[in-house]
Chain A
Amino acid sequence: MVTENIRQNTYFILFRIAAFLSVVILLFVLLYVIKEGIGVININFLTSMWSHRDITQGGIFPAIIGTILLAIGVSIISIPLGICTAIYLNEYAKENMFTRTIKLAIRNLAGVPSIVYGIFGMAFFVLFLNLGGSLIAASLTLGCMTLPWIITASEEALKSVPYSFREGSYALGATKWETVRKNVLPHSFSGMITGSILGVSRAMGETAPIIMVGATFFMGYLPTSPFDKFMALPYHLFILATQHSSPSAGEYAMGTALVLIALIFILNLGIFILRYNLRKRKEW
């Protein structure tokens, strides 16, 4: 009995240390970025155009806009497509070798490094489809990258709806579509949206693929059409941190990082609120 208690406590302490350590590491990263970057954050930094000559005079407004536009583009391309694909795979497709292979392929695609999507985007969207380095090419490239994440997350959300709901619905003479629409989608919607937006927010932070398909470090104007090049926060901060000669570049890179984190945080807060409101209705 005594040894059992000791063992019990040992494991408890072990897990507690692990949890504590994770939180501390993440908090440290966050606080470090805030401490280093907060100094450069001001209205001018957030709202004015980038000044190439003297970076202390300009701001990162075009990069913020570029990243937001990119996120919108990626969402439009990959969320509807991904959710519909998940519905098809989970609700309609027959379970056989073929669909199992497709599902496995999707899971594998979710793990392909983003740079691979970058080179694919460059070869296919930029050159072959002749879209050039542009917002649309970048949205399509990142859209391809997020698609498997969104499909996987949406499938999980659909799977979490108990089979008995579907069965009960069929037994009342509902068709497949009626069952899916009235008894599956309403209960999996919040999960699908959460997974999707999480995917998009990860795409917002991607640097490698967008360099190859249209992100640019310096642009004197905001993109006015999907075929324009664009500035983006992650690429901007990469250049500032590694290639810029200005003595204050490091500080500005940290400031940019802080803005990027804040943007993603706001997006996640949005999902959290949305999910909270949808969950209130969920009963099981």
Chain B
Amino acid sequence: MQEENAKIEFKCMNFWYNDKQILTDINIKIYPKRVTALIGPSGCGKTTMLRCINRMNDLIPISRISGKILYNNEDIYDKSVDVIDLRKKIGMVFQKPNPFPMSIFDNVAYGLRIQNRRDKNKVKQIVKESLEKADLWDEVKDRLNLSAFRLSGGQQQRLCIARALAIDPDIILLDEPCSALDPLATAKIELLLRKLKNERTIIIVTHNMHQAKRISDYTCYLLNGKVIEYSGTAEMFDNPKNKLTKEYINGEFG
């Protein structure tokens, strides 16, 4: 953990749904242009933690947060922060592929259109580039007007990644993006993520330790809403410092 500049920094962050505390005293730094994996058993709060970063939890009225989350050293929960702008910089891919019921092209162009990018050629170009980055272009280039629902699950998930990439986010959050996919589709997405980290910060929630091991640079192990261990991935898997981490990665529970 020698890196100095954090892209995202959690500072004494706590989170509640109603009176139930989901996250307790989170203090970690997430580094730019790295893949950071959040692992832990179901219900440990990893998805909640992810959704705090682009303030998707704001949509849940019974939620409450304390502490700070710094993005480029600015608190994203500060009153001056426009959550709409924030989400344009921090893209998200969901657990279940959720393409919109429109054509492949319109899906990818959605984010651009809500930003009122009217230049048709520019939009076309960005759609093409985004699909290329998501390794989907070759498969769909002849049928961009086809409904996104006609694609396979893996293709749909890559479409969702392309959709997120189209607005050129700084950070991409992925919430168990492969949990609904078969091993081949998963391998494609993992390959894609490794490529993407050259340009962007990636934070991925996964319940699959092997996946975390394969693709991440840093791994954070959460249990019951607390960070048990956070370190370089190789370090954590080779030599876990905490007994609980060791038990989890050895598959003794979870």
Contacts and interface: CB of A to CB of B under 8 A. Distances in A.
**A and B form one complex:** yes
Interface in A75-102: 94-95
Given A164-B96, A165-B100, A168-B100, A175 B149 contact: no
B111 interface: yes
A172 B98 contact: no
B149 A172 contact: no
Given A94-B61, A168-B160, A171-B92, A283 B115 contact: no
Could you tell me the dominant secondary structure of chain B's interface residues?
Answer: helix
Interface string A137-165: 00000000000000000000000001011
Contact of B163 (A165, A172, A175, A284): A172
A153 B27 CA distance: 48
A239 to B, nearest CB: 50
Interface string A167-180: 11111111100100
B180 interface: no
Contacts of B149: 283-284
Given A95-B61, A283-B101, A172 B110 contact: yes
A178 B87 CA distance: 14
A183 B87 CA distance: 17
Contacts of A283: 101, 147-149
A282 B101 contact: yes
Contacts of B163: 168, 172
Contacts of A178: 114
B59 interface: yes
Nearest to A181: B114
Contacts of B94: 164, 167-168, 171
Contacts of B92: 171
A187 interface: yes
B101 A187 contact: yes
A260 to B, nearest CB: 38
Interface string B82-96: 001111100110101
A46 B92 CA distance: 62
A182 interface: yes
B111 A164 contact: no
B164 interface: yes
Nearest to A161: B101
A173 B84 contact: yes
Given A164-B94, A168-B98, A171-B164, A182 B87 contact: no
A49 B91 CA distance: 67
B1 to A, nearest CB: 29
Nearest to B58: A170
B127 interface: no
A187 B167 CA distance: 24
Interface in B64-109: 84-88, 91-92, 94, 96, 98-101
Contacts of B54: 171
Contacts of A169: 100, 110, 114
Interface string A252-268: 00000000000000000
Contact of A170 (B85, B87, B160): B87
A168 B175 CA distance: 12
Among B61, B87, B96, B100, max chain A CB count under 10 A is at B100
Contacts of B100: 165, 168-169, 183
Contacts of B113: 182
Given A171-B87, A172-B87, A173-B84, A165 B101 contact: yes
B56 A170 contact: yes
A173 B101 contact: no
Interface string A96-121: 00000000000000000000000000
Contacts of B56: 167, 170-171
A174 B87 CA distance: 8
A173 B96 contact: no
A183 B54 CA distance: 20
A170 B114 contact: no
Nearest to A165: B100
A24 B87 CA distance: 58
B167 A172 contact: yes
11 contacts: A162-B98, A165-B98, A168-B160, A169-B100, A170-B56, A171-B94, A172-B91, A174-B114, A175-B84, A178-B114, A284-B101
The 10 A-B residue pairs with the shortest CB-CB distance in the complex, in nearest-first order: A173-B88, A164-B98, A171-B92, A172-B111, A173-B87, A283-B149, A283-B101, A168-B98, A174-B114, A178-B114
Given A165-B100, A168-B98, 4 more contacts: A162-B98, A168-B94, A172-B87, A183-B100
